[in-house]
Structure 1
Amino acid sequence: MTSIDEGVARLRRYIDDLDLTGQERLPPEPILAERMGFTRSRLRTILKRMEADGTIWRHVGKGTFIGPPPPSGGEQLPATVAAKDLFEARLLIEPMLAARAAQEADEGDIAIMRACIDGMRNSASFQQWKRLDERLHRAVAGASHNSLLLTVHDTMRLSSRQAIDVRVRAVYGEPAEPRGVVEAEHIALVEAIAARDAEAAAQAMQAHILSVRSSLLPSS
């Protein structure tokens, strides 16, 4: 592991230990560099790496924020998104992304996915667990190595915060059986991707989304 890889891992742990929601701002670079024990140049390299994988995004003059960037310009989200529409979109898009990930993922992509699963298992708070869940799904989308598909995924996931965040906390807020079900589904998904089995990866993602929909929207 290179010094930059180690720095990325350390900063991920720092972010994961923060009890913050997505899109929260990190401290300014001079403060963050001092807090982490990084030089400014090393921190910028680490942040660039983390921006590329969607852990953070940066806006000149505003700062560094947790999570993927919000849509801009013509990609503005509708004011409200129905939960049923969100899950319909997810069922159309995410299994295809999982299949593509099985074909295109490199070892680094798969390592990130597995690290997310491990982190979720050991998470100390709901926000940490949820942030890692979002990171895992984005890692799958990112493993498609298709920037347009990744943008579609990010826009859809931002919509999910509007549509189902309160219900997600109600169902998965405590580390009980529902989280165990999610973990098993995530493991099946990532192992299918690692095995380069596109059909199994798509099926695992579809089964996972249907399971989550059943938990969050019992009447659907």
Structure 2
Amino acid sequence: MSDALRPMESKPRLYEQVLDRLRRYVAEGGLGAGDRLPPERDLAARLGVSRASVKQAIVVLEVQGLVEARHGGGTYLVRDTLDVEPVDQLVERRRRLPDVLDAREALETKLAELAAERRTDEDIAAMDSALARMQAEIAAGEHGVEGDRLFHAAVTAAAHSGILAEFMRSIAEQITESRHESLRQPSRPTRSFTQHRAILNAIVAQQPRQAAAAMRRHVQTVAKVRLLDWDPEENDSPSA
């Protein structure tokens, strides 16, 4: 019986194979955070692939916050391992992220406006506590993810709108993805903390317009992530 119609075998993108080799190189070489990877030209020569494929692999590592590519200074590990998320998962998140960010801007801008009109002393205390948590996390070298989550949850609660809170709960998982994506950008945790403080100041002062504007600026900053600049299919050729 002919096997011409046997199931197709998926072929990994070339840069995905480069990613796997880099992961093994870091593990077998005992490299850790702060160590420098070989130059792209050297990696391409040693792996027998184009520099474009190596560059695309490095971009994927940047997108995931695993390396830092310093202009003119090489590529350095941010963590002790290169536990790379499957590329197909990155592609899917990249596809849905713009819609999530649009929803966040629409919903959270209105929530901040309402919070400035309706907040109670207890609401303010909850937002203050969340910012203190985020600040402590950042000081400990973390991204401030839990403090960020608590702050946005406190703003939502301060709006005292059951329907809007339900909308936020309905996209909670996607919001979590966008939060992690944003806060692993270089210098982003500190910037987000500062923006949170501006939002809180406007809410405390009962200035709805200013609170909404501050939240809109913040969510627009959240939208500026390396993932959205990445083209999964760009420059994946086998040779230079």
- List runs of 5+ in structure 1 lacking aligned partners: 1-78
CA deviations over 1:120-151 (Å, ceiling 9, x no partner): 11114647x21121111011011111222111
How far apart, in 2, do the equivalents of 1:122 and 1:103 lie?
A: 29
Q: Tell me, yes or no, if structure 1 residue 213 matches structure 2 residue 227.
A: no
* Equivalent of residue 210 in structure 2, options 180, 184, 200: 200
Q: Give TM-score scaled by structure 1 length.
A: 0.56
CA deviations over 1:45-74 (Å, ceiling 9, x no partner): xxxxxxxxxxxxxxxxxxxxxxxxxxxxxx
* Equivalent of residue 118 in structure 2, options 88, 99, 104: 104
The one-letter code sitting in structure 2 at the alignment partner of 1:135 is L
Q: Tell me, yes or no, if structure 1 residue 121 matches structure 2 residue 131.
A: no
Shift in alpha-carbon separation, 1:166–1:143, aligned structure 2, 3 A: closer
Q: Give TM-score scaled by structure 2 length.
A: 0.51
- 4+ aligned runs moved over 3 Å, structure 1: 124-127, 163-166, 215-220
How far apart, in 2, do the equivalents of 1:178 and 1:166 lie?
A: 11
Secondary structure of 1:143's partner?
A: helix
CA deviations over 1:82-114 (Å, ceiling 9, x no partner): 000000111111100000000000011011101
CA contact (8 A) 2:182 2:224 kept: no
CA contact (8 A) 1:138 1:154 kept: no
- List runs of 5+ in structure 2 lacking aligned partners: 1-91, 231-240
Shift in alpha-carbon separation, 1:213–1:105, aligned structure 2, 3 A: same
How far apart, in 2, do the equivalents of 1:170 and 1:207 lie?
A: 18
Percent of paired sites with the same residue: 24
The one-letter code sitting in structure 2 at the alignment partner of 1:84 is P
CA shift for structure 1 position 169? 5.7
Shift in alpha-carbon separation, 1:106–1:197, aligned structure 2, 3 A: same
Q: Tell me, yes or no, if structure 1 residue 146 matches structure 2 residue 175.
A: no
The structure with the larger Rg is: 2
Secondary structure of 1:207's partner?
A: helix
Residues matched between the structures, number: 136
How far apart, in 2, do the equivalents of 1:188 and 1:82 lie?
A: 29
Q: Tell me, yes or no, if structure 1 residue 171 matches structure 2 residue 191.
A: no
Secondary structure of 1:171's partner?
A: coil
The one-letter code sitting in structure 2 at the alignment partner of 1:88 is D
CA contact (8 A) 1:138 1:153 kept: no
CA shift for structure 1 position 184? 0.9
Residue 52 of structure 1 corresponds to: none
Shift in alpha-carbon separation, 1:198–1:165, aligned structure 2, 3 A: closer
The one-letter code sitting in structure 1 at the alignment partner of 2:147 is L
CA contact (8 A) 1:99 1:198 kept: yes
The one-letter code sitting in structure 1 at the alignment partner of 2:100 is L
Residue 148 of structure 2 corresponds to: 133
RMSD: 2.5
CA contact (8 A) 1:126 1:169 kept: no
Secondary structure of 2:159's partner?
A: coil
Residue 9 of structure 1 corresponds to: none
CA deviations over 1:179-219 (Å, ceiling 9, x no partner): 11111100000000000000000000000000111135554
